[in-house]
A and B are shown apart, each in its own frame.
Chain A
């Protein structure tokens, strides 16, 4: 069976063999602390006045506690869950596609999920959110599978071809979505529900994101397989593992995570791209080592973007998707200029 040579130029140094330290743990603890601080900030920011004083005297400020429980805690949890799972989804995609520029939003995954949501909206507008998400997950799985199939069929000369293929595919899905949204006068609704935005998150309206969290844990459990799959198909087969099965598992995780996030809060670009790249600078390419880092930094990234979006124009909001686009692109450009010798 003809395959790519395992040491394709796409992958930088094979980090698998690194005997080095288990990653700077104190640093991870510090990052975790930073995320906690951000989460605390997120709990206290909003239109209603919720302060520690008010919370400590619930008799005088009954509303503060109520707002905290109904609105702030769910929103903060949703931010953390979405950030963690999108970051890890990006990491898995990068390993499966063996390319550092891939993430659910550059590989047609999110776009096909969005197409799925549009189809559901048009054909069965009233169905429950779980069914909506299931359809979106089916679409994003098909879209991502198509992406990986195309990758197998084209000669890869440069690392840049992979994301270009993903962007082209994503643009095609996007064009289809836009076309039908236009024909059915849904363009503005489409824009509203695809822009990542946590403003409608309340108790009872985000819990689906826990499903994404479960998938992230699952990804951690089987992390070693993704590390191996990242070495290439021949390498994986030599170790006695089924490459297609690992790819299918990773695909399922990525597609479901993306669909859940897009269906509940919309698209948040760049997390899956920037966070795994930053992490790989710190701890290398071993998935088991990288996943805790990606989860912590992903959560921090989304928290930060949402806090900024809520503060800048108080009491109104800037959607987190917009802020993440700006912040993420800046970080990404910085990474590109810094490590241009490593990504190619």
Chain B
């Protein structure tokens, strides 16, 4: 079947348009090229390792590993606090507090959190690989290449695992003193916060993404607010689920929380956040939280992306403490 020649240019124009669009897009972003320098031979003394137990079993790790690859932002955050230098990182996006790792010259990239660049990892001959959260599903494959420890946090025992993860890294790198100070400070601040939160009303955690909302309760990935920071849940029936429960504004109106904690997922990944626009509606405006100015936009990087690093938990805690420390606004008329 043939086409009249008149239509030909139209089709070509359409195809051309698609190609131009594609090229324009490719130009938007510098091509990523995780150049891996010639790998230094692993400098571990065999037989001198110690056994480290972690979320996915136990691993023999050489003392004072130098060539460390990190596939977890939370672990990166904790290592940063402990003052441990790393050989390489993974991912494309290093939010605020971890911005220094975005320097690909200093910290070469080994794929993304979900898809490690196995060949680069293999060529780098690391002494230690650290996985967690988003990369934990790739643990087995990475563990076959080099000693690997997994730092996944358990949402049901969030704070315990954050502490445990910090202690584990401290043991591996011989930074026990620093870890003790960090953990001690965190515990103290938590106790102080608990004293205020328990008497100041109930809270609801809402994550917004792409114009939709979902609610999270105790035991969920953000449940630490209820369980460890002592904020009574406004909707205790919320079950723990990774992506929360889809809700509408009516749910917030009926739950009527005294505190509304908002995680703007789109802001976490660098897009102009629409959480405020989404929540500022006739229904949510009637809640106690909104009327009293007790809507807290949690730092999306610390809650959503880095969540679980010892510093990110501390920053989250500070943010909530600040919110509770502010003088109460008189109820709007």
Contact A315 B254 (CB under 8 A): yes
User: Does A238 sit within 8 A of B, measured CB to CB?
Assistant: no
The majority secondary structure among interface residues of chain A is loop
The contact size tier of chain B is 35 or more
Given A185-B92, A189-B209, residue A315 in contact with residue B251 (CB < 8 A): yes
Contact A155 B22 (CB under 8 A): no
Contacts of A315 in B (CB 8 A): 247, 251, 254
Contacts of A164 in B (CB 8 A): none
Q: Chain B interface: which of A51-59, A83-91, A144-152, A283-291?
A: A144-152
Contact A121 B253 (CB under 8 A): no
| Chain A nearest Cβ from B235, distance in angstroms | 8
| Chain A nearest Cβ from B275, distance in angstroms | 12
User: Does A153 sit within 8 A of B, measured CB to CB?
Assistant: yes
Contacts of A318 in B (CB 8 A): 246
- From B3, B210, B250, B253, A191 is in contact (CB under 8 Å) with B210
Complex CA gap A287/B246 in Å reads 38
Contacts of A48 in B (CB 8 A): 250, 253-254
Residue of A nearest to B11 (CB): A149
User: Does A330 sit within 8 A of B, measured CB to CB?
Assistant: no
Given A142-B17, A189-B209, A190-B210, residue A200 in contact with residue B248 (CB < 8 A): yes
Residue-wise interface mask of A (178-196) relative to B, using a CB-CB cutoff of 8 A (1 in contact, 0 not): 0010011110111111010
Contacts of B251 in A (CB 8 A): 47, 315-316
User: Does A174 sit within 8 A of B, measured CB to CB?
Assistant: no
Complex CA gap A67/B284 in Å reads 11
Contact A153 B253 (CB under 8 A): no
Contact B212 A199 (CB under 8 A): yes
Contact B272 A125 (CB under 8 A): yes
Contacts of A188 in B (CB 8 A): 209-210, 265
Contacts of A154 in B (CB 8 A): 1
Given A47-B253, A154-B1, A183-B29, residue A197 in contact with residue B282 (CB < 8 A): no
| Chain A nearest Cβ from B114, distance in angstroms | 9
Contact B212 A193 (CB under 8 A): yes
Contacts of B272 in A (CB 8 A): 125-126
Contact A46 B246 (CB under 8 A): no
Contacts of B269 in A (CB 8 A): 184-186, 189
- From B2, B14, B25, A2 is in contact (CB under 8 Å) with B2
User: Does B80 sit within 8 A of A, measured CB to CB?
Assistant: no
Contacts of B266 in A (CB 8 A): 186, 189
User: Does B10 sit within 8 A of A, measured CB to CB?
Assistant: yes
Contact B212 A200 (CB under 8 A): yes
Contact B10 A71 (CB under 8 A): no
Instruction: Give chain A interface residues in 118-161, CB to chain B under 8 Å.
Output: 119, 121-122, 125-126, 142, 145-146, 149, 152-156
Contact B209 A192 (CB under 8 A): yes
- From B14, B250, B270, A185 is in contact (CB under 8 Å) with B270
- From B7, B213, B215, A152 is in contact (CB under 8 Å) with B7
Contacts of B265 in A (CB 8 A): 188-189
Complex CA gap A121/B272 in Å reads 9
User: Does B278 sit within 8 A of A, measured CB to CB?
Assistant: yes
Given A189-B209, A191-B210, residue A145 in contact with residue B248 (CB < 8 A): no
Instruction: Give chain A interface residues in 298-318, CB to chain B under 8 Å.
Output: 313, 315-318
Contact B93 A145 (CB under 8 A): no
Contact A189 B3 (CB under 8 A): no
Contact A199 B248 (CB under 8 A): yes
Contact A47 B250 (CB under 8 A): yes
Contact B1 A71 (CB under 8 A): no
User: Does B245 sit within 8 A of A, measured CB to CB?
Assistant: yes
Contacts of B210 in A (CB 8 A): 188-193
User: Does A33 sit within 8 A of B, measured CB to CB?
Assistant: no
Given A176-B22, A316-B246, A319-B246, residue A153 in contact with residue B212 (CB < 8 A): no
Residue-wise interface mask of B (236-277) relative to A, using a CB-CB cutoff of 8 A (1 in contact, 0 not): 000000000111111101100000000001100111100000
User: Does B48 sit within 8 A of A, measured CB to CB?
Assistant: no
- From B248, B270, B271, A47 is in contact (CB under 8 Å) with B248
Contacts of B29 in A (CB 8 A): 183-184
Contacts of A197 in B (CB 8 A): 212, 246
Complex CA gap A2/B266 in Å reads 52
Contact A142 B14 (CB under 8 A): yes
Residue of B nearest to A125 (CB): B272
- From B17, B22, B248, A71 is in contact (CB under 8 Å) with B248
Complex CA gap A204/B251 in Å reads 18
Contacts of B249 in A (CB 8 A): 71, 200, 202
| Chain A nearest Cβ from B298, distance in angstroms | 17
Q: With a 10 A CB-CB cut-off, give which of B93, B211, B278 has the most chain A CB atoms.
A: B211
Given A126-B272, A176-B22, A199-B213, residue A317 in contact with residue B1 (CB < 8 A): no
Residue-wise interface mask of A (59-86) relative to B, using a CB-CB cutoff of 8 A (1 in contact, 0 not): 0000000110011000000000000000
Contacts of A17 in B (CB 8 A): none
Contact B213 A200 (CB under 8 A): yes
Contacts of A25 in B (CB 8 A): none
User: Does A221 sit within 8 A of B, measured CB to CB?
Assistant: no
Instruction: Give chain B interface residues in 7-24, CB to chain A under 8 Å.
Output: 7, 10-11, 14, 17, 21-22
Residue of A nearest to B22 (CB): A176
Contact B246 A317 (CB under 8 A): yes
User: Does A1 sit within 8 A of B, measured CB to CB?
Assistant: yes
24 contacts between A and B (CB under 8 A): A4-B1, A70-B281, A119-B21, A142-B17, A152-B1, A152-B3, A155-B1, A183-B92, A184-B271, A185-B93, A188-B209, A189-B209, A189-B265, A189-B266, A189-B271, A191-B210, A192-B211, A193-B212, A195-B212, A199-B212, A202-B249, A202-B282, A315-B251, A317-B247
Which 8 A-B pairs give the minimum distances between C-beta atoms? A192-B210, A193-B210, A199-B248, A189-B210, A316-B245, A125-B272, A185-B269, A47-B250
Besides A153-B1, A315-B251, 7 new A-B residue pairs in contact (Cβ under 8 A), listed by A number:
A1-B4, A71-B250, A146-B11, A185-B93, A193-B210, A195-B212, A203-B282
